[in-house]
């Protein structure tokens, strides 16, 4: 079970505290078990600083605490604080990664369900799509829906998300797909051939919606499977 530790402190020496955190990251490189750390400053009180550190489990957090480098940094952190820091230990019972959720919904509801109109609720009004296989590398949602609908009708694709990574407002997806050439594609009449391939897409999200996307498919491999190019 994922474990989170919240460290709450008051200090007028925030810059020094930041430098100390940099020292901890460098000193524990290759040793620490922490996977994610966030430091925030209270907007209402600039001396109130909260650090949130994530670990794979409580047991891994304890390993991290027992590192001599962690003990040294903690003692130096206490010296920088106006009062003894407080600690809150949390077992994570729910972890909603909302940007990942909307990216997954795009694959499920738009691509696999074949419903391009479902993108209306998932994308911002100023959404931009970048895809070298479309007529323009920079287009809005309505035109993207028109062209993608033609591609989906041509291949009836089913996509599988192989992996997904999120950082900040960006979500990167590695996917595979399979389908059948059931309709005209780029002037090529349907061949009925089964096709498979890979794809990568990066989504930029804002306010729980997709604002921009960059797509890359194995177009060369697809054309070879359709017999349009020699293998």
Task: Spell out the residues 6+ positions from residue 32 whose beta carbon is closer than 8 angstroms to its own.
Answer: 25, 64, 67, 70
Banded pLDDT at 21 (limits 50, 70, 90): confident
Domain ranges of the chain: 3-91, 98-225
CATH of 3-91, one of 3.30.70.100, 3.40.1790.10, 3.40.1190.20, 2.120.10.80: 3.30.70.100
CATH number of 98-225: 3.10.450.50
Residue 98: name the closest of 160, 174, 166 by CA: 166
Beta partners for 210? 123, 205
Residue 135 is predicted with a pLDDT of 92
Q: For 196-221, what is each residue's pLDDT tens digit?
A: 999 999 999 999 999 999 999 988 88
Banded pLDDT at 231 (limits 50, 70, 90): low
Q: For 60-111, what is each residue's pLDDT tens digit?
A: 999 988 888 888 888 898 999 999 999 999 999 988 789 999 999 999 999 9
Other residues' Cβ atoms within 10 Å of the Cβ of residue 194:
11
Percentage of the chain with pLDDT > 90? Answer: 67
pLDDT over 70 (residue 46): yes
């Amino acid at each position: 079970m994922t474990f989170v530790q919240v460290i709450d402190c008051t200090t007028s020496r925030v810059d020094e505290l930041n430098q100390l955190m940099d020292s901890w990251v460098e000193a524990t490189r290759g040793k620490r078990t922490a996977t994610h750390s966030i430091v925030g400053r209270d907007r209402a009180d600039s001396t109130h600083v909260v650090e949130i550190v994530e670990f794979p489990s409580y047991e891994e957090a304890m390993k991290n605490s027992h590192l001599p480098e962690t003990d040294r940094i903690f003692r130096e952190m206490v010296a920088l604080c106006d009062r003894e820091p407080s600690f809150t230990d949390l077992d994570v019972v729910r972890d909603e990664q909302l940007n990942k959720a909307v990216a997954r919904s795009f694959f499920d509801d738009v691509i696999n369900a074949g419903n391009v109109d479902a993108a209306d609720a998932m994308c911002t009004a100023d959404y931009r799509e970048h895809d070298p296989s479309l007529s323009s590398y920079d287009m809005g949602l309505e035109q993207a829906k028109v062209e993608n609908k033609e591609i989906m009708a041509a291949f009836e694709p089913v996509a599988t998300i192989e992996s997904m990574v999120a950082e900040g407002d960006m979500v990167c997806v590695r996917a595979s797909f399979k389908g059948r050439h059931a309709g005209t594609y780029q002037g090529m009449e349907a061949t009925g051939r089964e096709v498979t391939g890979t794809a990568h897409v990066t989504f930029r999200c804002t306010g729980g919606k997709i604002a921009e996307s960059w797509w890359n498919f194995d177009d060369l491999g697809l054309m070879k499977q359709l017999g349009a190019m020699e293998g």
